Amino acid sequence: GQSLEQPSEVTAVEGAIVQINCTYQTSGFYGLSWYQQHDGGAPTFLSYNALDGLEETGRFSSFLSRSDSYGYLLLQELQMKDSASYFCAVRDLNQAGTALIFGKGTTLSVSS
Amino acid sequence: DSGVTQTPKHLITATGQRVTLRCSPRSGDLSVYWYQQSLDQGLQFLIQYYNGEERAKGNILERFSAQQFPDLHSELNLSSLELGDSALYFCASSARQGARDTGELFFGEGSRLTVL
């Protein structure tokens, strides 16, 4: 089967940098996605890594190492509005479709 | 606004009842996905439809069923409801024809179901 592991909680202060790690186990691999979800809201797409290396989008970056089955989301210049849950996800390759399997999520709390 | 519309936003019902959740995907998207999110759980994949046909099944209970109609909207039917079915149910869409796969799903705001 497929599984993803990520820390359940991370805390940081405004202006800091935080890294949320994700390790995955899957028989095949099609890319690692990251999503943000504010309390009770819709998950929103942040980034996608299909190849090794760093992808940067503004204050957020995502990294992938396929050989280590590992990726991380890096959030810089943290703001209070970044307090949310962050999910890593991989393609469900056990199925013919294109559904994503999500990790249990990391709750990020940013304090002033 | 993701462009995915879900109704109703909130629903309260009793055990043993049946409810239908509705989803309109983003204009042009052919795939619809249903996910369940309980308080202490992440996003659990239930089922996917692509252009009217079932494409993939996840952890969907036999009491639950779904379909996608010719206009591409989808409905998730939950029957013989139990207390444990209380959750946020999200619909997501993707797959405009010709679009590059970027691992991005567009989620609706969800339907919060409370079973009493």
A12 forms beta bridges with A110
Contacts of A103 in chain B (CB under 8 A): 42
Confidence of residue A82 (pLDDT cuts 50, 70, 90): very high
Mean pLDDT of B5-12: 97
Tokens describing residue B34? 């249903």
Question: Hey, are the CB atoms on B108 and A42 less than 8 Å from each other?
Answer: yes
Chain B residues 19-38 with CB within 8 Å of chain A: 31, 33, 35
How big is chain B by its Cα radius of gyration, in Å?
Answer: 14
With an 8 Å Cβ cutoff, is A38 touching chain B?
no
pLDDT at A28 (0 to 100): 77
Sort residue B28 into left (φ over 0), alpha (ψ -120 to 50) or beta.
left
- Determine the pLDDT at residue A94: 66
Helix (H) and strand (E) counts in chain B: 0, 11
Can you give the length of chain A in residues? 112
Residue of chain A with shortest Cα separation from B108: A42
Confidence of residue A95 (pLDDT cuts 50, 70, 90): low
From the number of C-beta atoms within 10 Å of its C-beta (0-12, 13-18, 19+), residue A58 rates as exposed
Q: Is the pLDDT of residue B100 over 80?
A: no
Q: How would residue B36 be classed by pLDDT, with cut points 50, 70 and 90?
A: very high
Inform me whether the pLDDT recorded for B94 exceeds 70: yes
pLDDT per residue over A21-76, tens digit each?
999 998 778 889 999 999 989 999 999 999 999 999 899 999 999 999 999 999 99
Residue B99 has pLDDT above 70, yes or no: no
Q: What is the mean pLDDT of residues A14-26?
A: 96
Considering only residues B2 and A32, tell me which one the structure prediction assigns the higher pLDDT. A32
| A21 or A96, greater pLDDT | A21
